[in-house]
Chains A and B, each alone.
Chain A
């Protein structure tokens, strides 16, 4: 049986990758690898470009055309000047090249000085000078927002929302799934239908009335307004119930014989055995909550309660966008997701392919 299986896959792969005449490539082989190479560049390239850009100084970001790596102009201390002066490579009229520091620029003429001879100033046209640059990483893009803006608050809020909402979701969804999977009771099918029905109601079509409910409950501009409405996910109930149905019933009967309470059966037997499904739901819940946008945008209107996504949106919407900070904050927002992806990618991709949920 196993041999037949391998033989069939081999012949399948043989057929799909067969090259005419052995050595020469069929055009589809070339196309495949070109497509994949292009695809990888298109999928990862923009993210890499964001990460590289986030380490550039504001001056570096303004350069056009942009440099690939974060570069900063070298500055030197010159006697008689309070601030360090930017260093340039100047081509003199006689064709010699000198390294000079710029004191000031007047129109198209730059007033330069030789760091070794600070007394005499030299005037050169700006076209003849090139800035001298070195590889420099602007860590301040990352450290400044921590001190100057509410960035830490946003980060904190996002973490609280993600963790608390995921815990609540796991608890109440697994309880409901337990109720639906283990017991035969009146109205079970009705509840199941109800759960599947609510799967089809996206937040986009109940924006106004959901806002009213949250207002009535006095939760506007609190993190609870973001945490609670999405806690009872129909997807979660459905996923966990399907998994719990596969657990052996004898275990539960045996526990009942031993006079275990129903709660103990749920907590000590079914929950630990359902850990794989709970882990899947936990990953999805973290992703949903961390990335959530429209609903928090509606219910969070004060900067102290912004999550990262809302904070980022507010920053990028300002009239004078401080891109060096926006880029760095975007990278920070991206890190948890990138980590989850790096460690769990095989798990997630196969999980999604089999459950068909996002």
Chain B
């Protein structure tokens, strides 16, 4: 890609040969694209070139993000099971009132669309425990990794490793461990316990959904908190040491207050991710047993795409609701981030 100065032509090294071969496709591509762009520049003038450079990216944004965002509303106010908007009759807010039709909002059983409300309550339970414990363990791990320990790079990498794994792989790794004849049950029976059918029991299924998603994601948040801890000026600790301050007091008075902005960012980021939980749990439990681990995104997916009757309107209405929740969380995130940058 870079323009290589001609090296010793008679006797090129292996690296130079490789570069020469590898740069050929780039040069051909450059040649192919240069002519039209040069023509465009002559035609439009240099002042309009930034628009040309922006065009492809903005076109993709527009077609696959902005247009869908707008027609999402159109879907949510039309009925029927046709996909194309022209074939869908306008029904106003009927989808929304259908979703909201409940005898008692605290009891999903009393709602007309009980799967939606179960999804909401499951998501709330999941988000509460997942975010709380993930932030707690990320914080403990970051504090420990911030100490002067041998092989810190290795340990940091070890905790980060699962972040790179795909959700399907994560789910299958744990499913294999948690099966009826899996290694965890083997361990339990060997120390005298009964086997547990983890995926038949609603509470255990929720526990493992939370556990596995913490396992898969905490490395990412640990890294952010670790970066925050390392940004705390060492003089503060020195001063505390000179005063003979106790460790506990140092933690509550120096570490935690200075880390707090980062901690807030981590909490909000984790919230935004947790509300959208789908992949790992869908593969791990399939939403079961029954609807015990079915979350709001899975409700949208099954309603829109995997039911016998694909109810696009209802799915769109539910995603508008989810969108509003995420929008609010994002505003909170922006406020929190701004405060971190200012302060």
- The secondary-structure label for the interface of chain A is helix
Interface hub of A204, A215, A216, A327 (most chain B Cβ within 10 A): A204
Q: How many residues of A contact B (CB 8 A)?
A: 105
Contact of B215 with A42 in the complex, beta carbons under 8 Å: yes
**Chain A residues with CB below 8 A from B172, complex form:** 50, 312, 316, 326-327, 330
Cβ of A28 under 8 Å from chain B: yes
Contact of B190 with A337 in the complex, beta carbons under 8 Å: no
Contact of B51 with A290 in the complex, beta carbons under 8 Å: no
Give CA–CA (A36, B147) in the complex, Å: 12
Known contacts A183-B49, A267-B30: A198-B38 contact under CB 8 Å: no
Cβ of B175 under 8 Å from chain A: yes
Give CA–CA (A162, B154) in the complex, Å: 28
Cβ of B200 under 8 Å from chain A: no
Give CA–CA (A330, B169) in the complex, Å: 6
Cβ of B207 under 8 Å from chain A: no
Return B64 CB to nearest CB of chain A, in Å: 4
Contact of A345 with B157 in the complex, beta carbons under 8 Å: yes
Contact of A263 with B84 in the complex, beta carbons under 8 Å: no
Give CA–CA (A237, B61) in the complex, Å: 12
Q: Which of B74, B153, B312 contacts A346 (CB 8 A)?
A: B153
**Chain A residues with CB below 8 A from B159, complex form:** 39, 43
Chain A residues 181-226 with CB under 8 Å of chain B are 182-183, 185, 188, 191, 194-195, 198, 200-202, 204-213, 215-216
Contact of A62 with B181 in the complex, beta carbons under 8 Å: yes
**Chain B residues with CB below 8 A from A248, complex form:** none
Cβ of A352 under 8 Å from chain B: yes
Chain A residues 10-53 with CB under 8 Å of chain B are 11-13, 15-17, 28, 32-33, 35-36, 39-40, 42-44, 46-47, 49-50, 53
Q: How many residues of B contact A (CB 8 A)?
A: 109
Contact of A212 with B167 in the complex, beta carbons under 8 Å: no
**Chain A residues with CB below 8 A from B2, complex form:** 272
Q: Which of B68, B148, B155, B183 contacts A16 (CB 8 A)?
A: B148
Contact of A39 with B53 in the complex, beta carbons under 8 Å: no
Contact of B160 with A345 in the complex, beta carbons under 8 Å: yes
**Chain A residues with CB below 8 A from B8, complex form:** none
Stretch of A77-85, A93-101, A114-122, A227-235 at the chain-chain interface: A227-235
Contact with A along B173-207 (1 / 0, CB 8 A): 11111000111011001100000000000000000
Stretch of A103-111, A127-135, A145-153, A169-177 at the chain-chain interface: A169-177
